[in-house]
Amino acid sequence: MLLARSLYLCGKRSEQKFKWTYSWNPARYWRLRSDYPDSWRWLVLAERIQGFLSHAEGDRLFRLARDLSPSENPVLVEIGSWKGKSSVMLAAGLAGKKNAKVYCIDSFAGDENPIYQERYYKPLLEQHPCDLEKVFRTNISCCGLEHVATPCKGFSFEWCARWKLPIDVLFIDANHEYDAVLRDFDNWSPFVKIGGAIAFHDVGDQYEGPRHVVSQRLKPPAFGPVSIVNTLAWAIKCGVAVDVDTALQNASAHV
Ligand SMILES: C[S@@+](CC[C@H](N)C(=O)[O-])C[C@H]1O[C@@H](n2cnc3c(N)ncnc32)[C@H](O)[C@@H]1O
Secondary structure letter of residue 86 according to DSSP: H
pLDDT (tens digit, 9 = 90+) per residue, 92-148? 999 999 999 999 999 999 888 888 888 888 888 888 878 999 999 999 999 999 999
What residue numbers bound the domain in which 65 lies? 2-254
pLDDT surpasses 60 at 161: yes
Measured between alpha carbons, how far is 202 from 141 in angstroms, rounded to an integer? Answer: 27
pLDDT (tens digit, 9 = 90+) per residue, 51-106? 999 999 999 999 999 999 999 999 999 999 999 999 999 999 999 999 999 999 99
Look up the CATH number of the domain holding residue 47: 3.40.50.150
Number of domains composing the chain: 1
Closest CA to 139 of 65, 68, 51, 69: 51
SS (H, E, C) 221-251: CCECCCEEECCEEEEEECCCCCCHHHHHHHH
pLDDT of residue 195: 96
Q: Which of 89, 175, 179 to mutate to test the pocket of ligand 1 (most atoms within 8 A of CB)?
A: 175
Q: Which residues line ligand 1 (CB under 6 A)?
A: 51-53, 79-82, 85-86, 105-107, 110-112, 155-156, 173-175
CA 163 to ligand 1 centroid distance, Å = 18
Q: Is residue 194 classed as helix, strand or coil in its secondary structure?
A: strand
pLDDT of residue 99: 98
| pTM of the entire predicted model | 0.87
pLDDT of residue 122: 87
CA 79 to ligand 1 centroid distance, Å = 6
Sign of CA dihedral 106, 155, 182, 243: negative
Closest CA to 95 of 44, 146, 148: 148
Q: Percent of the chain having pLDDT more than 90?
A: 74
Strands 149-153 and 167-172: unpaired
CA 222 to ligand 1 centroid distance, Å = 26
Q: Which of 62, 173, 179, 254 to mutate to test the pocket of ligand 1 (most atoms within 8 A of CB)?
A: 173
Q: Are 167 and 191 in contact (CB under 8 A)?
A: yes
How would residue 21 be classed by pLDDT, with cut points 50, 70 and 90?
very low
